[in-house]
Structure formats: structure tokens, C-alpha cells
Amino acid sequence: MSQADLFTTDGAKARVDHMLIAEMVEAGSRVLDVGCGDGELLRLLSEKRGVDGRGVELQRDKVNACVARGLSVIQGDADRDLDNYPDQAFDYAILSLTIQATRKPQTVLENLLRIGKRAIVSFPNFGHWRVRSSLAFGGRMPVNDNLPDLWYLTPNAHLCTIRDFADLCERIDAKVERAVAFSDYGRPLPIKWSLSMQNLFGEKAVFLLRSSSS
């Protein structure tokens, strides 16, 4: 992607995982962004890829801001509300930096793979070396840019490593079409690196998944 693609129309720089997701999504497709926050990804997808996007967000003020900006977003809970969507209603169901905050990650992931022809999931990697060293040497839960909240304030309920997530995908029979981990500086790690290396040096990861039954 060119440098110009990294900026949305108002000049703000897009998040790197958002950029990668935008690259994975086919132009003009139908997208459901679960946990869409302030709608930045939806807006990026709409502007850069011409997608027909919808969002679900738990926090009321963020939903209000999205709708006031003209995005189709509903106030709702990924753990509770995904059951209502029909099978294959979207080309992509996206969960960007949200799965760790859900109560039932497996159910949510299964729902994503049912609702979307493909699912895209990004998450903070708890196997990153700084997390490991914080626990190993500091004896404390990590607090950094990627995991900014203290343990008693964090919305995260189910943190996992890249390996853990890959295991879950295998367990629920999800086919991993693509997996990319990012370094601390937001650069994708070399594809030839092993999963253990990605798990050690990846700060975040993005998985493109497909249900093996579809």
C-alpha cells in the first residue's frame, strides 16, 4: 500500500491493524465490524474499499458518535447479540482488538464464522516478549501501549497468545487463510518466521479465517 493510503480523508493516520484489515477486505463487500468503537475502521473501509459496512458497539457514547457521523452502527453486545444475525449475512465479520474483552470468545468466534463468509480477528498478543518479561522479571501483569489498563481496570477478560488463538481456530475447525503479526513499531513481521518467533515478537496479530464447512 502506498503512503497516501495510510491516511483517511481528514488526515488522520489509520491504525496499522486497520490498514492490514482494509487490505484483506475485498472492495465493495458487506462487512460487519463487531466492537467497532468510534467507527474508524468502518470509515476507512467505506472510504478506501467502498464496503457496505455495519457496526456493533457496546459503549453508548461511541455508538451515538458513529451514527451521528452517518455510520450504520447498533448499540449491542458481541456476547449476546450476534445470535440474531442470519448465516452468511456478510462477506466479512470483523473483530478488531475486541475478542479479549468478550465473555465467551469461542462462541463469539463461532458466530463470526457463521455470520461472515470470512472472519477477520485482530488481538493483542499476550505472548509478546515484553509481556513475558513483565511477568517473568517484574512479577506483574503487563501495562504498556498495547495493554494500557491496570489489571483491575481492564475490560480484557480473556487474553491469549498467538499460539493460543491458533489452537482455538483449530479446535473450532476454522481455516486460517492468513495470519500476520506486527512488531512493536507496527511493522508486519517476516512471513517466513516461525509461529514461535511471531508469538515472541508480535505485539498484535491479525487472522483471516474461514469456516471449514463453508
Partner 1 sequence: MSAAPPDVIASVARQHSEVHTPSSQVVHFDASAPLRLACQQDLAPFSIAYETYGELNADKSNAILICHALTADQYVASRHPITGKPGWWANIIGPGKPIDTDRFFIICTNVLGGCMGSTGPASINPKTGEPYGLQFPIITIGDMVEGQARLMDHLGIDQLFAVVGGSMGGMQVLEWASRFKDRVFAAVPIATAAWHSSQNIAFHEVGRQAVMADPDWAGGNYHAEGKVPRNGLAVARMAAHITYLSEDALHRKFGRALQDRSSLTFSFNADFQVESYLRHQGSTFVDRFDANSYLYITRALDYFDLREGRDGVLANAFRGTQTRFCIVSFTSDWLYPTRESRRIVQALNAVAANVSFVEIESDKGHDAFLLEEPTFHATVKGFLNAAALKRGLPPATETTA
Enumerate binding residues for partner 1 (CB under 8 A): 52, 54, 60, 63-64, 66-76, 81, 84-86, 89-90
Between 65 and 143, name the residue whose CB sits nearer to partner 1: 65
Q: Answer whether 101's CB lies under 8 Å from 155's CB.
A: yes
Closest separation between CB of residue 78 and partner 1, Å?
13
41 forms beta bridges with none
Among candidate residues 146, 108, 125, the one with its CA nearest the CA of residue 32: 108
Please report, for the chain, how many H helices and E strands are present, in that order: 8, 7
Between 84 and 194, name the residue whose CB sits nearer to partner 1: 84
Closest separation between CB of residue 76 and partner 1, Å?
7
Closest separation between CB of residue 155 and partner 1, Å?
19
Residue ranges of alpha helices (H) inside the chain are 16-24, 40-49, 60-68, 78-81, 105-115, 129-133, 162-171, 195-201
Between 54 and 204, name the residue whose CB sits nearer to partner 1: 54
Closest separation between CB of residue 172 and partner 1, Å?
22
Q: Answer whether 120's CB lies under 8 Å from 165's CB.
A: no
Between 60 and 192, name the residue whose CB sits nearer to partner 1: 60
Phi, psi of 96 (to 5 degrees): -105, 115
Between 161 and 211, name the residue whose CB sits nearer to partner 1: 211
118 forms beta bridges with 92
Closest separation between CB of residue 82 and partner 1, Å?
9
